[in-house]
Structure 1
């Protein structure tokens, strides 16, 4: 019988409204080995658009999480390269 071990990552997202037009997001993931990876995202609202802070958070948050994903892919490929002694070729998502 195969035993499965659950592994979890702690992810945090924080938002800051700079004014009525700009939202910033900061993303942080803590990996089980203690490594922390951080990324940022930003959203801007056009002056004629309705003020919808939640939408700004969604856009800024998505951009921060996308950057976090790219950093994790790069980190994984660096680890593959270090272990294998060859250059891996990441697939861009």
Structure 2
């Protein structure tokens, strides 16, 4: 039987977080089939001299949030295995 895990990504632009900086932030939330959640965060800052293309900032912030989420999931898995094995386990990236 297959199980589904869902990831939701919320994107916030500078005007939504009340910042004068050209920044886009992303919050990725993984929800497992059992209802457990894990969060990842990402940020993209546009050089003020670059064109203002919102989609590029969103893509970069989302990618960084997903990378952070993946790293946190690997750490959680490593911790779970360590608890079972009774020694430190480090999973490669």
Per the normalisation by structure 2, the TM-score is 0.88
CA distances 1:41-76 after superposition (whole Å, capped 9, x unpaired): 110001111111000000000110000000000000
Question: Equivalent residue of 1:71, what SS?
Answer: helix
Equivalent of 2:14 in 18, 30, 48? 18
Structural RMSD (CA) = 1.2
After TM superposition, list the pairs within 5 Å mapping 1:1-93 onto structure 2: 5-19=1-15, 21-91=22-92, 93=93
Q: Which runs of 5+ in 2 are unaligned?
A: 16-20
Question: Equivalent residue of 1:81, what SS?
Answer: helix
Q: Which runs of 5+ in 1 are unaligned?
A: none
How far, CA to CA, are the matches of 1:11 and 1:51 in structure 2?
27
* Structure 1 residue 39: Cα displacement: 1.6
Moved more, 15-24 or 54-63: 15-24
How far, CA to CA, are the matches of 1:89 and 1:39 in structure 2?
20
How far, CA to CA, are the matches of 1:75 and 1:68 in structure 2?
10
- The structure number with the bigger radius of gyration is 1
